[in-house]
Amino acid sequence: MTLPRATQVSTAGHWPEHAAAGCVTLGFDDRCRRRVRLTLDNAQGDFILDLARAERLGDGDGLLLDDGRWVQVRAAREDVMDIAAAHSRDAIRIAWHLGNRHLPVQVLEAGCLRLRYDHVIEHMVIDLGGKVERKLGIFAPEPGAYDGAPAHAHGHTHDY
């Protein structure tokens, strides 16, 4: 039996959500793929994500299967930590240290930062004057400066 293939992605609000034949709930790492076998929620069946290039799938996006059905993408709730700082100097220092470690970071509406939970990073942030709130939430980090562009060479060093 040949599995249906999802070859097209439409962003949330730009596909007929009422026509969704099923949903697939994925963590951040699984929402950044090109080709993988996926299982619909509630074990409703499998399909192949088969895109021309890797894409970032967002919460509410639609995948068009080659048999004409739509599948809704749901972002899984993950173990994250939201970071805030009382002073802008502390916030800038925290952001610099996170960037120096090349950690994926989500910028929240309230001006806070969200990362995957990591106890070592949590202690570093607190030591730098930040406040950490651990929770389950959707993790959708900022695309990197080079996402969609040719890969860049790492011709510099990092202080760890």
Asked whether residue 44 falls in the same domain as residue 98, the answer is no
Domain at 98, CATH number: 3.30.70.790
Asked whether residue 100 falls in the same domain as residue 38, the answer is no
pLDDT of 126 reads 97
pLDDT of 42 reads 87
pLDDT of 43 reads 82
Asked whether residue 84 falls in the same domain as residue 60, the answer is no
Q: Using CA of residue 12, residue 63, residue 138, residue 31, what is the dihedral sign? A: negative
Q: What whole-number distance in Å separates Cα of residue 70 and Cα of residue 93?
A: 44
pLDDT of 105 reads 96
pLDDT of 152 reads 37
Q: What is the pTM (predicted TM-score) of this model?
A: 0.81
**pLDDT tens, residue by residue, 86-116:** 999 999 999 999 999 999 999 998 889 999 9
Asked whether residue 68 falls in the same domain as residue 99, the answer is no
Residue 146 lies in a domain: no
Spans of the chain, pLDDT less than 50: 149-160
Asked whether residue 70 falls in the same domain as residue 85, the answer is no
Domain at 48, CATH number: 2.60.260.20
Domain span holding position 11: 5-75
Sheet containing 113-116, strands listed edge to edge, beginning at the edge strand earlier in sequence: 106-107, 113-116, 77-85, 130-138
- The radius of gyration of the chain's CA atoms, rounded to the nearest angstrom, is 19
Token pair for residue 39? 């299982």
**3-class SS at 95?**
helix
**pLDDT tens, residue by residue, 149-158:** 333 344 444 4
